[in-house]
Amino acid sequence: MLAIIGGSGLAQLSVLEVTHRQVVRTPYGDPSCALTFGHLAGQNVVFIARHGYGHSLAPHEINYRANLWALHNQGIKGVIAIGTVGGIRPDMAPGRLVVPDDIIDYSWGRKHTFFEGPERPVVHAEFTAPYDDGLRRRLLAAVAESGRSGVDGGVYACTQGPRLESAAEILRLEQDGADIVGMTGMPEAALARELELPYAHLCLVSNWAAGKGGASSVQFDPATGALGVEAVTATLLCLMAGK
């Protein structure tokens, strides 16, 4: 069974045939919401809305550890994370789907490891390649199968939010090598690695990052978002139909 973590605009997965919901508690506190179990293209899936139902949790308020722990406890084989991002690189235009292959973490103050405290001595998780290549390949094949062209690879910068970045901050991220920017990719990916869960990220570009794309809006564009949700659900259906 795969887990799907839905981001902004994907608090519910309309194509999921829901079988049941389960409220889960973890040693790390409560997840963002109940887990939703169901079938997608005939495959078992467990879904969680990262920001909670009704998008009530800001990126820094999300209990990433509880979310990952709760999903891990269901015996999942991997995690497909969905998130909206701002586009920094010229080809990362609003409406595009990107499957990044690397991360730079600028977030701070978030509970970001399971390995702390007297019970859990430190472990330095390997993170050279933050995303699982097999899951990335499957995601890219599913994007293509759904009739769209996804971007294969790119560096995801995770900022703290909830505010958007300044133009100078985006310039710095670009100089660091970042291609897209979001607020929730970390510590989620690292926590998945600590639990040895294969993890890949399907990113929908919802806007140009600050100062990019000419004078056009920096703000999240609901029109692109709405189109994007269809692209994301079509990809997920193809992914699950592909096995």
Q: Which residues bind ligand HPA (CB under 6 A)?
A: 84-86, 159, 164-165, 181-183, 206-207, 209, 220
136 among the known binding-site residues?
Answer: no
Sign of CA pseudo-dihedral 150, 152, 158, 159 = negative
Nearest distance from C-beta of residue 42 to ligand HPA, angstroms = 32
Shortest separation between residue 103's beta carbon and ligand HPA, angstroms: 14
8 is in an annotated binding site: yes
The DSSP 8-state label assigned to residue 59 in this structure reads G
Phi and psi of 186, rounded to 5°? Answer: -130, 145
Pick between residue 33 and residue 88 the one whose CB is nearest to ligand HPA. Answer: 88
Q: Is 50 annotated as a binding residue?
A: yes
Find, among 78, 98, 79, 76, the residue nearest to 87 by Cα: 98
Q: How far is the CB of 161 from ligand HPA (least distance, A)?
A: 6
In the complex, the smallest distance separating the C-beta of residue 3 from ligand HPA, rounded to whole angstroms, is 21
209 annotated ligand binder: yes
> How many other CB atoms are found less than 10 A from the CB of residue 176?
11
Q: What is the DSSP string of 84-104?
A: EEEE-STT--TT-EEE--EEE
Q: In sequence order, what are the residues at sequence separation of 6 or more whose Cβ sits closer than 8 angstroms to the Cβ of residue 137?
A: none
Residue number, 66 or 178, with CB nearest to ligand HPA = 178
Which residue of the chain is nearest ligand HPA when measured via CB? 86
Gyration radius of the chain's alpha carbons: 17
Q: Cite the annotated binding site for phosphate by residue number.
A: 8, 50-51, 184
Q: Cite the annotated binding site by residue number.
A: 8, 50-51, 183-184, 207-209
